[in-house]
Amino acid sequence: MNRLSLGVAMTLTLTAGTACTAEPVENLTPEVPVSAPSATGAAAAELNAEVVAAALPTDADVPGYTRLTQQPATFVRLCPSITETFDGPEVHASGTWRNDSGAVYVVTVLDPENAPVDELLSKLAPSTCPERDGNGTKYLHDKQPFTRAGWTGDVNKSLVTPIAGGQYYVVSYLLSKGDALVNVIVDGTLAPGTTGNPAVDETAESQVELVLDRFPA
């Protein structure tokens, strides 16, 4: 079985709204408390940047994984084949950690001017995720609504079968609250004859809980 992870074994270009696979990004994650509310206007960009950076996991929050040192463009994704790439002034923070069996990717966004939540969700959260992309990769999805402490969105669990063979498992959370957006993606290998990976599920759940708790109430 091929062992694939976000941005390592999946080497397709990130293009908004097209079939693609995540590439690694890195973010230094300052350990500072979150206390600032969402704000708008150019003068608020620095404040919002502090909020999203403080909501990210630190290296200690992702045990068993190592943070990547490369930082290509940041992306947001729920369905594996639909991606929105941030390559402009969007206020966001992101980080990717990996080990031998998979990766953890987290991005936090707070920019009502340049990255309005409603607009992002309209592109990234269709009623059903595509079952095949233009490269021949097949997907079997289990997409469910998710709510927690005022955050709403979806969790999508995908069994991915690339055209080259092999399979892997991806869990993606895409959640919003007010002007804030959180995307947590965890992938991992599959044992023979299985269609899921409990360790991937548990890691994704724990990262979502951690990040949501670090945003202002």
The pLDDT tens digits of the residues spanning 116-127 come to 899 899 999 999
Confirm whether 15 is domain-assigned: no
pLDDT higher than threshold 90 for residue 45: no
Confirm whether 80 is domain-assigned: yes
Q: Report the CATH number that the domain containing residue 158 is assigned in CATH.
A: 3.40.1000
The pLDDT tens digits of the residues spanning 130-189 come to 999 988 999 999 999 999 999 999 999 999 999 988 999 999 999 999 999 999 999 999
Nearest alpha carbon to residue 78 among 152, 148, 11, 136: 152
Count of domains forming the chain = 1
Confirm whether 103 is domain-assigned: yes
Mean pLDDT, rounded, of the chain: 82
Counting residues of the chain whose pLDDT is more than 70, the rounded percentage is 78
Token pair of 171, please? Answer: 């869990």
Confirm whether 7 is domain-assigned: no
The pLDDT tens digits of the residues spanning 150-165 come to 999 999 999 999 998 8
Confirm whether 141 is domain-assigned: yes
Confirm whether 199 is domain-assigned: yes
| Residues 5-13, mean pLDDT to the nearest whole number | 36
Structural domain that includes position 95: 42-214
Residue 14's pLDDT band, with cuts at 50, 70 and 90, is: very low
Q: Measured between alpha carbons, how far is 94 from 83 in angstroms, rounded to an integer?
A: 15
Q: Measured between alpha carbons, how far is 164 from 54 in angstroms, rounded to an integer?
A: 39
pLDDT higher than threshold 60 for residue 34: no
For 82-92, letters b (16+ CB in 10 Å) and e give bbbbbeeebbb
- CB within 8 Å of 169: residues ≥ 6 apart: 157, 158, 159, 160, 187, 188, 189, 190, 195, 196, 197, 200
Confirm whether 196 is domain-assigned: yes
pLDDT higher at 10 or 41: 41
Question: What is the reported pLDDT for 180?
Answer: 94
